[in-house]
A = this chain, B = another copy of it.
Amino acid sequence: MLLRILELIGIGTFAASGALVGVTKRLDVFGVCVMGMFTALGGGVVRDLLLGVHPPTSLVNPVNLGTAFGVSFVVVFVHAVVMRLRRQILVLDALGMGLFASTGAVVALEHGAGPLAAALVGGTTAIGGGVIRDVLVNEVPLLLQREFYAVPALLAAALVGVVVHVGLSTNLALVVATTFAFVLRVVSLWRGWGLPTPRIE
């Protein structure tokens, strides 16, 4: 139950971030909603494509769809407020990222993927929506540039494999890995961590 609520929070914050980018790029109301839904559900669709789940569960679950659409639609009207809450949204987004990475890895393990593939599928689930969002509006994906974002996602997804391999329950793995990714991401935002950029002489 808690997990389900957290998942919807994740979907909602991802939808808000996608819809905000759409507003900034002067898309129309429908374009803003599409951006929100692709960002919120894109990672899960890519995960299901990689694992062979047809049709992707995101397209089947009306609550997830409704949350993504509803949040995007609301952002159309209150985008100025949402813009001011950017810092709070970043914290929620860190939660969503950790959750998407962990659940992605769990779903992959359940579909017979090894721990290595599960880590990659989990990481892809977490970053997929953001990459789709940025590619659609012709930006180089932010998380390739300077954000300490994909590293916590990948580590969390790998952690799921480790915890399950040790013999603990998947529920515990979800909690541990999500917390780990969330804390790592929030601390990195707070301390301004980033990876270095190779120097070009």
Taking beta carbons and an 8 Å cutoff, which residues of A are in contact with B? 22-32, 34-35, 45, 49-52, 54-56, 59-60, 62, 65, 76-77, 79-80, 108, 111, 113-114, 116-117, 120-121, 131, 135-141, 143-146, 150-151, 194-198, 200-201
SS class, residues of chain A in contact with chain B: helix
| B140 touching A195, Cβ below 8 Å | no
- Cα distance A46–B108 when bound, in Å? 18
> Hey, which chain B residues are within 8 Å of A140, CB to CB?
25, 27, 136-138
Identify A144's interface contact among B28, B77, B135, CB under 8 A.
B28
> Hey, which chain B residues are within 8 Å of A139, CB to CB?
138
Q: A111-B55, A198-B79 are in contact. Are A62 and B137 (CB under 8 A)?
A: no
Distance in Å: Cβ of A148 to nearest Cβ of chain B: 8
